[in-house]
Amino acid sequence: MSDKIRNRFWARGADDVMTEIARQATNCKLKLLDPGVIEAVVHNNESICGTSNPVAFKKLREALMLGFVVREKAVNKMGAAETDAMITAIRERLQETFGGQLGGQGGAGR
């Protein structure tokens, strides 16, 4: 697979997963990029949500766990530097789309 096609494949997959994470975090009224929030989601702690939405929280947690897998595989295929640059670009797009709904100060929440 050419580098261009490979990078586009991983970018599309990561973008889809990160968009779903952002969407479900918004549904849970959760500032995902604030300190400690991702860890709480990983540990299945719904009490951090601003609203009770068990279905959205489950989807959020599953998408977040999938995001870790996608990132690891992208690092293995593209390298750490290219993967980090791709994720940064996606995060910036999501911050523009979702505004302050995701919380954080840009680099938080990796």
Domain boundaries, the chain: 3-96
Task: Per-residue pLDDT tens, the chain, 110 aa: give them.
Answer: 688 888 888 888 889 999 999 999 999 999 988 999 999 999 999 999 999 999 999 999 999 999 999 999 999 988 999 999 998 888 888 888 887 778 875 443 33
Residue 8 and residue 12: Cα distance in Å, rounded? 6
Handedness of CA 24, 110, 16, 101 (dihedral sign): positive
**Amino acid symbol at 16:** D
Task: Specify whether the CB–CB gap between 29 and 105 falls below 8 A.
Answer: no
Measure CA of the first residue to CA of the last residue in the chain; give whole Å.
28
- State the pTM of this model: 0.81
Task: Specify whether the CB–CB gap between 102 and 32 falls below 8 A.
Answer: yes
